[in-house]
């Protein structure tokens, strides 16, 4: 079993829950829209309110990418500041040719610090292999 699998099981047992908290910030409440760190603050408020209930957090990367470099910076910071006792699945649905998939895997696991990722299998094994090479991480296909 991977480190991710153990971490997920431990969080589920500790919190007596199988709740996956999705972070899809499509529209921010008014109190977060004008703040420089509104995206981060909004999502972190959800994390803090649900950390004792969740077995995983799942930020959708698209909603952070839509904010450009600042959004990616917010996502990186959010993942770094989440409780380490609750694993993070980056909802990316990636699936591309081998070299591109390798870059995506590096970005998601090494740069963002995610524990797991969602993937799209339609391009076959070559699209998945770079992610699966991270044996301690989780992949949802």
* Active-site annotation, residues: 93
**What is this structure's pTM?**
0.94
Q: How far apart are the C-alpha atoms of 136 and 138, rounded to whole Å?
A: 7
pLDDT in tens, 9-38: 999 999 999 999 999 998 888 888 876 799
Per-residue model confidence (pLDDT) at position 1: 64
Rg (C-alpha) for the chain, rounded Å, is 15
Tokens of 112: 């963002």
CATH number at 3-140? 3.20.20.70
| Portion of the chain with pLDDT greater than 90, in percent | 89
The residue among 76 and 30 whose pLDDT is bigger is 76
Give domain limits for the chain: 3-140
């Amino acid at each position: 079993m991977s480190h991710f699998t153990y971490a997920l099981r431990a969080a589920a047992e500790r919190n007596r829950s199988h709740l996956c908290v999705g972070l899809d910030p499509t529209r921010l409440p008014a109190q977060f829209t004008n703040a420089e760190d509104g995206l981060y603050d909004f999502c972190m408020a959800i994390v803090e309110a649900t950390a004792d209930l969740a077995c995983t957090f799942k930020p959708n990367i698209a909603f952070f990418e839509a904010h450009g470099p600042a959004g990616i910076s917010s996502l990186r910071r959010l993942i770094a500041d989440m409780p380490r006792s609750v694993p993070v699945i980056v909802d990316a649905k990636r699936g591309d040719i081998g070299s591109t998939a390798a870059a995506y895997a590096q970005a998601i696991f090494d740069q963002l610090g995610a524990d797991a990722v969602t993937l799209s299998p339609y391009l076959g094994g070559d699209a998945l292999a770079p992610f699966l090479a991270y044996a301690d991480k989780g992949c949802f296909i």
